[in-house]
Amino acid sequence: MNLEFKKSIAWMRENLFSSIPSSILTVATSFFVLGFFRGLFGFAMASDKDWLSVLNNMQLYMVQAYPEEDFIRVWISVGLALVFAGMSIGLWKSTEESSLSEVFSKFLRVSLAFLFFTVVAPTFSSVTDNDGIIQTEESFPMETRLQLLIPSAILVVVFFVLKNLKLNYKFNKSDLLCFYLAIPIVLMWIIKLPTIQLDSSNQRIFPDPLMPIADTTKTPWTIIFGLFLAFYFIGSRFKDSKNIKRTMSISWVLLPLFIFSWIFKKPEIDLPTILGQDIPIFIGIFLIGALTITFINNPVVEKYFSIYLGVLIAITGIALFISIPILLKSALLLLVLFTIVIPAVSSSTKGKRNLIIVWGVSLFTLSVLIRGGSSDTQIIVQQQSIFGGFSLTWLLAIFGTYVSFPLGVLLALGRNSKLPIVRLVCTGIIELTRSVPYITWLFFASVTMAVFLPEGVNFELVVRVLMVTAFFSGAYFAENIRGGLQSIPKGQYEAADAIGMSPFQKTSLIVMPQALRAIIPTLVSSAITAFKDSSLVTIIGLIDFLTIGKVIIGTQSIPVNFVGHDRENLLFIAFFYWIFTFTLSRRSMKVEKRLGLGER
């Protein structure tokens, strides 16, 4: 113990107080940090803050005006995502282990944070009363502090001792993750929170009575967590199956599409259209593709293949501009893309069979998604969009990244292309998009875009915003990726050429993987920027997560008065955004580390 103490003194002397300037800096920054936390705690605890304005409005924050009778759809969406997450965590189960003392050191850190709070929190904080006069009040009396100090000090001591027992039981890190997730679920059934209750004359009862969390919140979460665990175990059973892993990765890509076009949207399906239109289109296009795959090695087909492809491209090009069902247009487009790769992929009988399966599944998925996406929704809300609050933020963030990333890759490749027209067009798109502020593009989406669309074509505002977002962040992605492409040494291209790879193989197998790996940090920061920038849609009248806290809640006055409580809501919003972006950047650091394995 004594030795340890000496060690820490030595550490402090070396790292914190090594010279007079560094001592000054250490002290100054410590004061700054302390002051920051004192201010934060004081702000949060002042009696004029009504944190129930946040807690009571969770539903509004998450889904805004989504009708309550269809909430099951929201829960199914969340549930699906978490089931997928459970399955994936199981499939890619970590092989690392943590010892029990590492677990205790985590708990120690949490209790230290709690102790820090009880020690640092200021006794007095300033409060603005109804007349706008700032006063000082005692918001954290000494008795309360002592009552909290003793248990938190005990917790710290207990966990410190437990940690230093050096218990060497090992736990798998993925198992531990599930254990940590279980903690809030269990707490949900135990703790009671202050809740807004109204008396008979519709007045709020003060002080707010402590009530258990509503069943409509904790039951779904518990069920979802149960499913999460179940699929975690299923996933860990199949962790050696490459096929299931591959299917899982593709499912992740399809999941948001499926959620937003079917579950969240509740599309209005009419059977005659499906029977009379969708199914014939599916069968027809599927047969064309399947026949091409089957007979591709036939000498006659091989001879006329390029003519066939040319005709197909021409038909698709025309089809895009005439008014036929959107499913037919998309299916034709998919057919063209597929036909282009057929000669490269299908050489053996087995390869052909697999390709036909892939073709069928992807065409079917496309048909299902298009039917859901292009049908009207049965969800009626007073506002223009069924997406509001966090569901809108999420939609913009996911789909913004989703469409803009591949677009960025294409634009970057196009800008580096040898074909002058392609290069010119791609450079033009990139420069045009980047040279105009994002807000201008948003106004373009809300006001001007209708002028540019052909007559009769009209997209929802959210879709128009998604389109400009895709281009806007796509252009930034493209420039980042181009930077990555330039970092690839010339020798890599030459080596790929020398072993006879085609330009497509060279790009997809050699150049792109290396270029993308080199720019993961920039890509993640672009994705984070897209996530945060989605809050700008508020200026064209969409109601996102931030707008709810800043604008909507501040105007609620019946039956509970939350006017003027936007500051605590803003703090909550900042914290909420921080959790997501921080997690994302942490994950990306891990991915980077893992991929950096083979680097010099």
Partner 1 sequence: MSIIKTNDVKKWFGDFQALKGISMEVQEGEVLVICGPSGSGKSTFIRCINRLEQHQEGEIIVDGIELTNDLKNIEAIRSEVGMVFQSFNLFPHLTVLQNVTLAPIWVRKKSRSESEEKAMELLTRVGIPEQASKFPGQLSGGQQQRVAIARALAMEPKIMLFDEPTSALDPEMIKEVLDAMKELALSGMTMIVVTHEMGFAKEVADRVMLFDEGLMVEENTPTEFFDNPQNDRTKLFLSQIL
For partner 1, the closer of residues 513 and 559 by Cβ is 513
Is residue 502 within the footprint of partner 1 (CB under 8 A)?
Answer: yes
CB of 88 to partner 1, least distance (A): 23
Longest Cα separation, the chain: 92
* Interface with partner 1: number of residues (CB under 8 A): 24
**Residue 480: C-alpha distances to residues 222, 406, 453, 516, 599 (Å):** 42, 13, 30, 9, 20
Residues whose CB falls within 8 Å of the CB of residue 310, separated by 6 or more in sequence, listed in order: none
For partner 1, the closer of residues 123 and 417 by Cβ is 417
Concatenated DSSP letters for 54-78?
HHTTHHHHHHTT--GGGHHHHHHHH
Q: What is the 3-state secondary structure (H, E, C) of 221-267?
A: HHHHHHHHHHHHHHHHHCCCCHHHHHHHHHHHHHHHHHHHHHHCCCE
Is residue 347 within the footprint of partner 1 (CB under 8 A)?
Answer: yes
Stretch of 116-124, 151-159, 212-220, 485-493 contacting partner 1, by CB under 8 A: 485-493
Considering only 20, 131, 500, 557, the residue that binds partner 1 (CB under 8 A) is 500
Is residue 600 within the footprint of partner 1 (CB under 8 A)?
Answer: yes
Residue 194 phi, psi (nearest 5) = -60, 135
Stretch of 152-160, 320-328, 410-418, 508-516 contacting partner 1, by CB under 8 A: 508-516
For partner 1, the closer of residues 455 and 599 by Cβ is 599
Residue 342 CA to residue 308 CA, distance in Å, equals 13
Stretch of 241-249, 314-322, 362-370, 490-498 contacting partner 1, by CB under 8 A: 490-498
Residue 450 CA to residue 447 CA, distance in Å, equals 7
For partner 1, the closer of residues 439 and 495 by Cβ is 495
Burial class (CB in 10 A: 0-12, 13-18, 19+), 400: buried
Q: Which two tokens stand for residue 532?
A: 């945060």
Is residue 416 within the footprint of partner 1 (CB under 8 A)?
Answer: no
Considering only 431, 460, 497, 592, the residue that binds partner 1 (CB under 8 A) is 497
Is residue 505 within the footprint of partner 1 (CB under 8 A)?
Answer: yes
Nearest by Cα to 470 from 396, 532, 385, 393: 396
Is residue 418 within the footprint of partner 1 (CB under 8 A)?
Answer: no
Considering only 190, 271, 499, 558, the residue that binds partner 1 (CB under 8 A) is 499
CB of 342 to partner 1, least distance (A): 13
Is residue 95 within the footprint of partner 1 (CB under 8 A)?
Answer: no
Residue 102 CA to residue 179 CA, distance in Å, equals 14
Is residue 456 within the footprint of partner 1 (CB under 8 A)?
Answer: no
For partner 1, the closer of residues 242 and 590 by Cβ is 242
Is residue 599 within the footprint of partner 1 (CB under 8 A)?
Answer: yes
Concatenated DSSP letters for 83-110?
HHHHHHHHHT----EEEHHHHHHHHHHH
Considering only 52, 369, 478, 510, the residue that binds partner 1 (CB under 8 A) is 510
For partner 1, the closer of residues 215 and 494 by Cβ is 494
Residue 327 CA to residue 357 CA, distance in Å, equals 20
Is residue 16 within the footprint of partner 1 (CB under 8 A)?
Answer: no
Is residue 69 within the footprint of partner 1 (CB under 8 A)?
Answer: no
Considering only 340, 495, 539, 589, the residue that binds partner 1 (CB under 8 A) is 495
Q: Which two tokens stand for residue 95?
A: 């092989």
For partner 1, the closer of residues 510 and 542 by Cβ is 510
Place of tokens 């021409």: 314
Residue 511 phi, psi (nearest 5) = -80, -55
Stretch of 33-41, 394-402, 409-417, 487-495 contacting partner 1, by CB under 8 A: 487-495
Using CB under 8 A as the criterion, which residues of the chain lie in contact with partner 1 when the complex forms? 347, 489, 491-492, 494-502, 505, 509-510, 513-514, 517, 595, 597-600
